Amino acid sequence: MTLRGLTKRYGDDHAVRDLDLEVSEGEFVCLLGPSGCGKTTTLRMVAGFVEPDAGSVVIDGRDLSSVPPHRRPTSIVFQDYALFPHMTVLKNIGYGLRTQRVPDTEARRRVGAMLELLGLENLGDRYPNQLSGGQQQRVALARSLVTEPKVLLMDEPLSNLDAKMRIRLRTELRQLQKRLGLTTVYVTHDQEEALSMADRIAVMDRGELQQYATPHELYHHPANRFVADFIGLNNLLPARCDLVRGGEVLLRLDDGQAVTAAEDARGHVPAPGDRVLLSMRPEDLTPAPRDEPAGAAGSAGSANRISGKVVGHQFLGALSRYLVRVADQDVLVDEYDTTGPGTAGEITLTVPASRIRIFPDS
Amino acid sequence: MTAVAPRPPRVRPAPPGRASRAARRLVREPVTLAVTLFIAAVLIVFVLWPTVNVFLRPDAEHWSRFLGSARMWDVARNTAVMTLLSTVSATALGFLFAYALSRPDIPGKPFFRIMSVLPLVSPPFVIGLSLILLFGRRGLVTYELLGLNLDVYGLPGLWAVQTMAYYPVAVLVLTGVLRRQSPALEWAGRDLGHGWWGIFRTVTLPLAVPGLASAGLLVGMYVLADFGNPLLVAGSYRVLAVEAYHQVVGTFDLGMAAVLCVALLVPTGLFFWLQRAWLERRSYVTVTGKESTLDPVPTPAPVRGTLFGLLCVVSGFMLLTYASVFAGALTKTWGVNWTLTLQHFEYTLLRAGDLTNSTLYAVVAGFACAVFAVLAAFFIQRRPLVGRGAMDMLAVLPGALPGTMIGIAWLITFHTGPLAITGTALIVVLMMTVRTLPVGYRSGVSALQQIGPSLDESAQDLGSGSLRTFRTVMLPLMRTAFTAAFIYAFVKSINTLSAVIFLVSPGSQLASVSIMGLAEHGYWGEATALAAGLMLVTFAALALFRLLTGGRVKLFEL
Ligand SMILES: Nc1ncnc2c1ncn2[C@@H]1O[C@H](COP(=O)(O)OP(=O)(O)OP(=O)(O)O)[C@@H](O)[C@H]1O
Ligand SMILES: [Mg+2]
């Protein structure tokens, strides 16, 4: 499936702007972004509920622009499931087969297989209001799957469930998708969900695509400041570029401390004198008392030492999280060895040059 | 506030043991006691007593005469056929109308909505009147334009008139039902491969079935109880309400009239009960917040065109109806001499007192209804009363009683005996008050539900007595409910016919009753001028209401 230059305006505001996206067969893609960034609108344009102002949706080489929703090879699972309240589970699931002129016996077989696949065997005669949230979710999924869509669309299908259920269904859903080899576009604003399920994630902000990459790439090589800030925790420190030399970028924090970053082929390469933002993950910063030489991380040359002062500390069980004041900015630092007494006061943070990303400061 | 659905509020029965405590508290509060006794007395005397009398009045002889008469069986069958036909057609038309109004891509909806509400705020018999003007023996369309000699009197005419007069009731109920359907369900149907017709057949329509049944029962109640239209256009096709009327005015056989009332009341009561108790719980509520930005599914162009055409035809017909009434009022002799004249208006507005009486009585009744409804709502809902469930029931009961039946019941009860007040203006005003009480009471109750008991309790805590709490805290908060009850009662009272026709006397003649007499004798000019006058006063009152409330409160969806 390919989206080309997809654009939708409501009034003067762009809900989605010039969106290009390519989804390979059998791939599980998450649309991720903050509320109101245009995820649902994108999905609805793919399903055909919303007419794009520009751009096209192409599936299997076929442009769907003039194809109405009921003839598209897509099927959507709604956020609140939209199960028909006046039909039993069986009728709900079989609903899409009626228009496909599937013979009765064949239809019954397929619905039965679907019930079995999703563990709904005993619930066929119930009405939606007699089902739990998780069961409703599975019925909605079955109703879409039974029509054998080329692309399955899901709009925050787990957001109405409690946390435990969400994690369980997440795994089930992903396994099912892999087993069926189903091309899937999954909308969520929960980054953990996206990171754990997706083959690739499309991060959106204010209607525009920010980055489209694997979860690993996204986390470790965010393409811009928004993605760096949005995915996981990140520290953003303003600095100035002094010199670019032999694969290294020499920088200076606002309080004069020098920091060296490795030049990132995929990242931004500043010119000397540019204002930039350094981004560092809390887990890449290793704290040590000021007078002690930094631990194993300090394999000389590529590691930076930054001074700061601990102003806060949270014990979170698996890790200790410090709030450290560096160059008048607050920096989060995670320490994974929590057996010791922890550090306080003036400390030194060690960070490998390769773990620092650089973004232009606008 | 809905104009057509006085829903009985749910009153929790007081647990045992509470009653005696309630009684003790009442004695300690003399004002509460006095007001409560007053409310109870009014409800018992004017609602319960006459209703019971209708059942007690006929003796075995009346019943055997009724059951043994082939003519009465004909009347009963006529009524059933007429009710069934009109209810089905009015509900179906109302559904299509409401469906069209619920679609986003149909133009001109505000106009069509107003057209669908007009019949609710004008005298229902206006439609019958205009049918005769347009399609009657000397009808403008049939006789003048087409040269036909058509007879509209009878079942076909009545069927058409009642369909047009009561489809708005179905529209009112069903727009609410359709509005509550989540667009996501239609989209889901679309996504799973169904076109417009498939979705309509498998999703939209089945989901609306409880609403349709509810609307149908309500329409049935109105059609069954309707009196003015059958009197005007049914001709020799007798129905129960008209037959009861003739039993009273023709032979003054109150026993037989009472038997007919009971026959009328049984199905009406059944419809009322079914509609409230059973269907209300069966509706599919499909509102969900999540998919709220989803617009309704677009309608295909041919369907859109058809629906738009239907809206135009029905609304055009409605316009024609009202235009013909005004035209009739301005024409010298309809069907004979088409010269324009103001003489009918002059006669009805200036010389005859009917319209003035109607207006005056409706104002008094509107005021009385609003005061009593708000008072009753407060004391029945918020004060520890003995038998409040019963009082609550009595307050909404008049909504289930056909007008003809109440009228005859009052005639039986107040013609002789301790409270012989027939022939006075008082009884007419009282009748108007009682008949509009259920809706006023319900609007008072729903206003109270929004206020919450803590406010009233805190006022009491600070030392206010019941009446003072009511005056200083509740009344200001219930002002909107009060205004709405007043206007509703005014509009309904000024146009009412079926009950008051039994109670008016030469000194207290009403416009609606006069119109019937004038029409019966072919005085079309005067009849239509009076009807036009009624409508003008009504519309003016509604405009005033809008002005007073700044459009915040909807009355008849206007
Ligand atoms: N029917 C509509 N009319 C007007 N504006 C709309 C409509 N639908 C969406 N929008 C606007 O378009 C923007 C994108 O909305 P969209 O529903 O796609 O966001 P989303 O990413 O799904 O957000 P969420 O995570 O809250 O569901 C929002 O600013 C929204 O207000
Ligand atoms: Mg959304």
Please report, rounded to a whole number, the percentage of residues in chain B having pLDDT higher than 70.
86
Higher pLDDT residue, B554 or A114?
A114
Q: pLDDT confidence of B553, banded at 50, 70, 90?
A: low
Q: pLDDT confidence of B279, banded at 50, 70, 90?
A: low
Per-residue pLDDT, B294: 81
Q: At what angle do helices B354-382 and B511-520 cross, to 10 degrees?
A: 130
Looking from the CA of residue A31, the nearest atom of ligand 1 is 21
Residue B359 burial by Cβ neighbours in a 10 Å radius (0-12, 13-18, 19+): buried
Looking from the CA of residue A41, the nearest atom of ligand 1 is 18
Q: State the residue for tokens 């359709």.
A: B178
Is the pLDDT at B15 greater than 60? The verdict is: no
Higher pLDDT residue, B455 or A358?
A358
- Answer whether A92 touches B (CB < 8 Å): no
Judge whether B29-56+340-558 and B59-285+298-328 match in fold.
Answer: yes
Average pLDDT score, chain A: 89
Per-residue pLDDT, B9: 46
- Whole-number Å distance, alpha carbon A127 to ligand 2 midpoint, is 26
Per-residue pLDDT, A125: 93
Higher pLDDT residue, B389 or A211?
A211
| Residue A37 in contact with ligand 1 by CB distance below 6 A | yes
The residue in chain B having the minimum alpha-carbon distance to the alpha carbon of residue A47 is: B191
Higher pLDDT residue, B487 or B467?
B487
- Structural domains in chain A? 2-229 (3.40.50.300), 233-360 (2.40.50.140)
Given an 8 Å threshold on Cβ–Cβ distance, is B290 in contact with A144?
Answer: no
Looking at residues B388-400, what average pLDDT do you find? 87
Per-residue pLDDT, B282: 58
Q: What is the pLDDT of residues A331-355, one digit of tens each?
A: 999 988 877 777 788 899 999 988 9
Is the pLDDT at B360 greater than 50? The verdict is: yes
Looking at residues B361-381, what average pLDDT do you find? 90
Average pLDDT score, chain B: 84
CATH class held by domain B59-285+298-328: mainly alpha
Is the pLDDT at B16 greater than 60? The verdict is: no
Is the pLDDT at A296 greater than 50? The verdict is: no
CATH class held by domain B29-56+340-558: mainly alpha
Least confident of B236-250, B427-441, B540-554: B540-554
Per-residue pLDDT, B462: 66
Residues with CB under 5 A from ligand 2 (ion): A 40
- Whole-number Å distance, alpha carbon A9 to ligand 1 midpoint, is 10
Listed residue (A103, A201, A199, A87) closest to A140, CA to CA = A87
Contacts of A79 in chain B (CB under 8 A): 290-291
Q: Which of B184, B191, B288 sits opposite A75 (nearest CB)?
A: B191
Given an 8 Å threshold on Cβ–Cβ distance, is B291 in contact with A144?
Answer: no
Is the pLDDT at B327 greater than 60? The verdict is: yes
Which tokens is B464 given? 């206010």
Looking at residues A38-52, what average pLDDT do you find? 93
> Dihedral, CA atoms, A324, A326, A330, A335, nearest 10 degrees?
-30
Domain spans, chain B: 29-56+340-558, 59-285+298-328
Is the pLDDT at A300 greater than 60? The verdict is: no
- Of B54-63, B309-318, B383-392, B536-545, the range with the highest mean pLDDT is B309-318
Q: Which of A40, A70, A100 sits opposite B195 (nearest CB)?
A: A70
User: b vs e for B47-75, b when ≥16 Cβ sit within 10 Å of the residue's Cβ?
Assistant: beebbebbeebbeeebeeebeeeeebeeb
Distance from CA of A96 to the nearest CA of B (A): 5
- Answer whether B207 touches A (CB < 8 Å): yes
Residue with the smallest CA separation from ligand 1 atom 8 is B293
Is the pLDDT at B8 greater than 60? The verdict is: no
Higher pLDDT residue, B159 or A293?
B159
Identify the residue among B177, B191, B283, B297 best suited for mutation to test binding to A, counting A beta carbons within 10 A and taking the highest.
B191
| Residue A210 in contact with ligand 1 by CB distance below 6 A | no
- Whole-number Å distance, alpha carbon A153 to ligand 2 midpoint, is 12
Q: CB–CB of A326/A307 below 8 Å? A: yes
Q: Which of B185, B187, B192 sits opposite A49 (nearest CB)?
A: B187
Distance from CA of B216 to the nearest CA of A (A): 20
Q: pLDDT confidence of B487, banded at 50, 70, 90?
A: confident
Least confident of A181-195, B57-71, B396-410: B57-71
Looking at residues B342-356, what average pLDDT do you find? 80
Per-residue pLDDT, B45: 93
Task: Report long-range pairs for A202-205 (Cβ below 8 Å, ≥24 apart).
Answer: A202/A21, A202/A29, A202/A30, A202/A31, A202/A32, A203/A32, A203/A33, A203/A227, A203/A230, A203/A231, A204/A19, A204/A31, A204/A32, A204/A33, A204/A37, A204/A38, A204/A39, A204/A42, A205/A33, A205/A34, A205/A37, A205/A230
Looking at residues A128-156, what average pLDDT do you find? 91
Per-residue pLDDT, B250: 86
The residue in chain A having the minimum alpha-carbon distance to the alpha carbon of residue B205 is: A86
Given an 8 Å threshold on Cβ–Cβ distance, is A143 in contact with B185?
Answer: no
Q: CB–CB of A231/A34 below 8 Å? A: no
Per-residue pLDDT, B11: 47
Looking at residues A297-322, what average pLDDT do you find? 80
